Structure 1
């Protein structure tokens, strides 16, 4: 920070001169750039030269120091003003605190007091300017992040997490056109995929960016269409246009994007809604229509109205039951999955279309569970099977087909898990056989060796062998001890060491408890 510019205002020349001569202003990082004998002259000087600091007397002709200070601070609030006052004027001067006076100096003026005030002023100005610079950096960062923050606001709006007033307030800040009284809107969700299975993630991102640029170019003269990318990398169009051309626009856009020859395009369109608070409904409907592409094929524009016949009655997913269903399928529990499926459909539906919407939710959970278990089975993802479910006209027929599908997926997952469990237990048994002489071998160390939790391994051992881990290991050690007693002349403590039990007394007691007789009796019986 360079030298601070100082203006002295006082109708007495001696006081102005005293202020000028009392301290070394340059040493204080300040420079007196002017003097004024009255407020009118000072106001003109302030407008022309913008000083950083002003020292002013209270009593001056025409305009006093308080009124002068008030005028300056109203126009230039960053200027620091110090009132020069006598003891008899001090109480009057204190009233100027309310208008933002920085400090006071009492007459007669002492160098020490003037030094203290100037040092404090300089420190205050330095801190303020540092904060201003920091604030400018933050503002610049805000400007750079504004597009991201704008999309974040729009995404929160689409998810129904904002009140009506919050929507209008944030829309005004981000300059999103959203006029009151003309709130009707319609939402489309567009999924862009590559036609090539070998595309890298970077290539796919660039492809989506290219498509978005073309869409933005199409709507460049239409401020009533908002375009953003949601968290699923889907392009979302929010149309507030009164002409209701969104469907035809999407069909035109899809045809032109397909001409690129590098992508597939799927578009779902929700119903038209009249209130901005209903954005989450329109977005949800568009996403549901988009999911329908899995059954009718890609490169289609599907309207939610076309797949739901229930008029104004809307289908609502039971997210809690769907989460339970996915969990039971994921663990291969066919019985629990079947029970949960019954709960999902234990409601009154308005139409067959709503049955199908519920069935689509169930199918999506089945496929999600299969994907999580890394199962790629043509019977799990068979398109004809899924279409046959969704084209069922009667609830009993739909339920039968759907239940067969759910049980099939759960069964495939269960079989895969059982094979994994059997293979794991086989490996654990082999591990124990080879490490039986190690006294440190136990449930925790064995579980760690196979990257599973001790509790999980213990449950699997009990299920597969009918014994707890400790019972199985002890039995294994006793069988090995029995074999050594029969085939060698090793002493008891040596046999204990061979089977991982280093305490001879404990080994002797354990052997007798498990084999029904002591080692000596066992050996004598052998002879």
Structure 2
């Protein structure tokens, strides 16, 4: 912070001179930019110099110090004003507190009082400027992150995680006037893939960017259309356009892209919605329509309402059951996964389209569980199996094939989980062998080393070794102690320290309890 500017206002030259001479202003980081003998002259100087601090007398001709201060603070609220007053004027000077005076200094003016006031004001100004700077940085960060926050709001809206109040409040903040018009809207999900098998990762990224640019250009004249990039190869279109037809637009867009770029394009479109809180339903419908590419092929625009027969009796997915299904698959619980599948299909389907849509939901959860575990083998992503599921002629056949598929995915994940658990416990065993000497080694500290919860580690240890964590650690410590008794002449307490038990009495008791003999008896027996 540079030197702070000071203005002195007093109709008596001697007082102004006394203030100027009482302290070394330069050493205090202050500089006197002007002196005024009356308030009118001072007001002109304030406009010219924009001082940081003003020292002013109360009684001055024409305009008194309190009125002068009020005018200054109304125009420049950041300026700090110190009233110079005598004891007989102090009660009058206290009125200035109401207008925001920073401090008082009494006549006769003492250097110590002046230094105290200036130090306090410097600290206060420094804190305010630092706070203003931090606030400015926050504003800049908010401005930089505004596009990201805007998209985050839209994704939250599409996921159905916002209340109606939050939707309207954020829509107004992020300037989406169509939300407040209660206009009907429609959601489409676009998936882009390369039509060439030889494209590099960089070329795929560039293809996705080019598609995004062309999609934005296509809708550039329609302010009622919102475009979101969901991933490198997926985009979401939300249309509030009253005069347009999203299906026709998507058909035209598809032709433009596949004719000009080396790509395949599939688009799923949900039904029109009038309730602003039903965006998640439209989004889910668009995704389910998109999944039909499995048997309709590439470069198709699929409307959700076209794949549902019987408009009065639409299929409704069961998100809570599907989430539980994915969980059981993810943890490799085949029995629970099969039970959950039975619950999902424990309904009457009046058409093939409905139970195929339900099957599509199940397939999606299986694939999501497999991909989250990094498993992409022929068993979990077998196109032939998926096609057979989606083309099954009757519900019993579909359920049989689907159950086989679910169990295959779940078993694959279960084997993967077991392999990972066995490898983790092997690492934990090695860690304990190397660190048993540390008396602080325990379940919590070991779990922290391997970035898992103590409860999870305890369960894995019991499952893999048949012992609790404490039992296993005690066992290897006693075996090490037994070895040291056989091969060294160390004293009992020294052996205890070598195996991480520093209390000699506790070590002696624990050794006898575990080995069946005291250390002395053990050594005698050894001899």
Partner of 2:284: 284
Question: How far apart are 1:66 and its partner, in Å?
Answer: 2.6
Identify if the C-alpha distance between structure 1 residues 201 and 356 changes in structure 2 by more than 3 Å, giving closer, same or farther.
same
Identify if the C-alpha distance between structure 1 residues 373 and 138 changes in structure 2 by more than 3 Å, giving closer, same or farther.
closer
Q: Secondary structure at the match of 1:301?
A: strand
Question: How far apart are 1:356 and its partner, in Å?
Answer: 2.6
Q: Any unmatched runs of 5+ in structure 1?
A: 426-450, 460-505, 507-527
Inter-partner Cα distance in structure 1 for 2:62 and 2:135: 40
Q: Secondary structure at the match of 1:230?
A: strand
Inter-partner Cα distance in structure 2 for 1:232 and 1:12: 75
1:407 equivalent to 2:404? Answer: yes
Inter-partner Cα distance in structure 1 for 2:138 and 2:195: 42
Question: How far apart are 1:49 and its partner, in Å?
Answer: 2.5
Question: How far apart are 1:53 and its partner, in Å?
Answer: 1.2
Question: How far apart are 1:327 and its partner, in Å?
Answer: 5.6
Identify if the C-alpha distance between structure 1 residues 106 and 201 changes in structure 2 by more than 3 Å, giving closer, same or farther.
farther
Inter-partner Cα distance in structure 1 for 2:154 and 2:45: 50
Q: Secondary structure at the match of 2:187?
A: strand
1:119 equivalent to 2:116? Answer: no
Identify if the C-alpha distance between structure 1 residues 47 and 276 changes in structure 2 by more than 3 Å, giving closer, same or farther.
farther
Verify the 8 A CA contact 1:188 1:283 in the aligned structure 2: yes
Question: How far apart are 1:101 and its partner, in Å?
Answer: 2.0
Identify if the C-alpha distance between structure 1 residues 281 and 98 changes in structure 2 by more than 3 Å, giving closer, same or farther.
farther
Please give the residue correspondences for 1:8-19 in structure 2 after superposition, counting only pairs within 5 Å: 8-19=8-19
Q: 112-121 or 87-96: which moved more?
A: 87-96
Identify if the C-alpha distance between structure 1 residues 52 and 324 changes in structure 2 by more than 3 Å, giving closer, same or farther.
closer
Partner of 1:523: none
Identify if the C-alpha distance between structure 1 residues 333 and 27 changes in structure 2 by more than 3 Å, giving closer, same or farther.
closer
1:398 equivalent to 2:399? Answer: no
Partner of 2:189: 189
Inter-partner Cα distance in structure 2 for 1:17 and 1:351: 99
Q: Secondary structure at the match of 2:114?
A: helix
Partner of 1:241: 241
Q: Secondary structure at the match of 2:342?
A: helix
Verify the 8 A CA contact 2:334 2:410 in the aligned structure 1: no
Question: How far apart are 1:331 and its partner, in Å?
Answer: 7.5
| TM-score normalized by the length of structure 2 | 0.71
Inter-partner Cα distance in structure 1 for 2:232 and 2:301: 18
Identify if the C-alpha distance between structure 1 residues 325 and 29 changes in structure 2 by more than 3 Å, giving closer, same or farther.
closer
Inter-partner Cα distance in structure 2 for 1:230 and 1:33: 59
Q: 236-245 or 11-20: which moved more?
A: 11-20
Question: How far apart are 1:194 and its partner, in Å?
Answer: 2.5
Identify if the C-alpha distance between structure 1 residues 92 and 277 changes in structure 2 by more than 3 Å, giving closer, same or farther.
farther
Task: Tell which structure's C-alpha radius of gyration is larger.
Answer: 1
Partner of 1:77: 77
Verify the 8 A CA contact 1:2 1:29 in the aligned structure 2: yes
Identify if the C-alpha distance between structure 1 residues 375 and 46 changes in structure 2 by more than 3 Å, giving closer, same or farther.
closer
Q: Secondary structure at the match of 2:131?
A: helix
Name the count of aligned residue pairs. 433
Inter-partner Cα distance in structure 2 for 1:17 and 1:418: 90
Inter-partner Cα distance in structure 2 for 1:413 and 1:182: 44
Q: Secondary structure at the match of 1:178?
A: helix
Identify if the C-alpha distance between structure 1 residues 148 and 13 changes in structure 2 by more than 3 Å, giving closer, same or farther.
same
Partner of 1:377: 378
Inter-partner Cα distance in structure 1 for 2:255 and 2:225: 19
Question: How far apart are 1:418 and its partner, in Å?
Answer: 8.1
Identify if the C-alpha distance between structure 1 residues 134 and 329 changes in structure 2 by more than 3 Å, giving closer, same or farther.
closer
Inter-partner Cα distance in structure 1 for 2:464 and 2:395: 40
Please give the residue correspondences for 1:48-197 in structure 2 after superposition, counting only pairs within 5 Å: 48-178=48-178, 180-197=180-197
Verify the 8 A CA contact 2:359 2:402 in the aligned structure 1: no
Identify if the C-alpha distance between structure 1 residues 260 and 3 changes in structure 2 by more than 3 Å, giving closer, same or farther.
same
Q: 173-182 or 284-293: which moved more?
A: 173-182
User: Residue deviations 1:95-136, cap 9 Å, x none?
Assistant: 433433221111221111111111222222223223333333
Q: Secondary structure at the match of 1:8?
A: strand
Identify if the C-alpha distance between structure 1 residues 373 and 50 changes in structure 2 by more than 3 Å, giving closer, same or farther.
closer
Calculate the aligned-residue CA RMSD, in Å.
3.7
Identify if the C-alpha distance between structure 1 residues 165 and 116 changes in structure 2 by more than 3 Å, giving closer, same or farther.
same
Inter-partner Cα distance in structure 2 for 1:168 and 1:62: 55
Partner of 2:483: none
| TM-score normalized by the length of structure 1 | 0.71
Identify if the C-alpha distance between structure 1 residues 367 and 122 changes in structure 2 by more than 3 Å, giving closer, same or farther.
closer
Question: How far apart are 1:235 and its partner, in Å?
Answer: 1.2
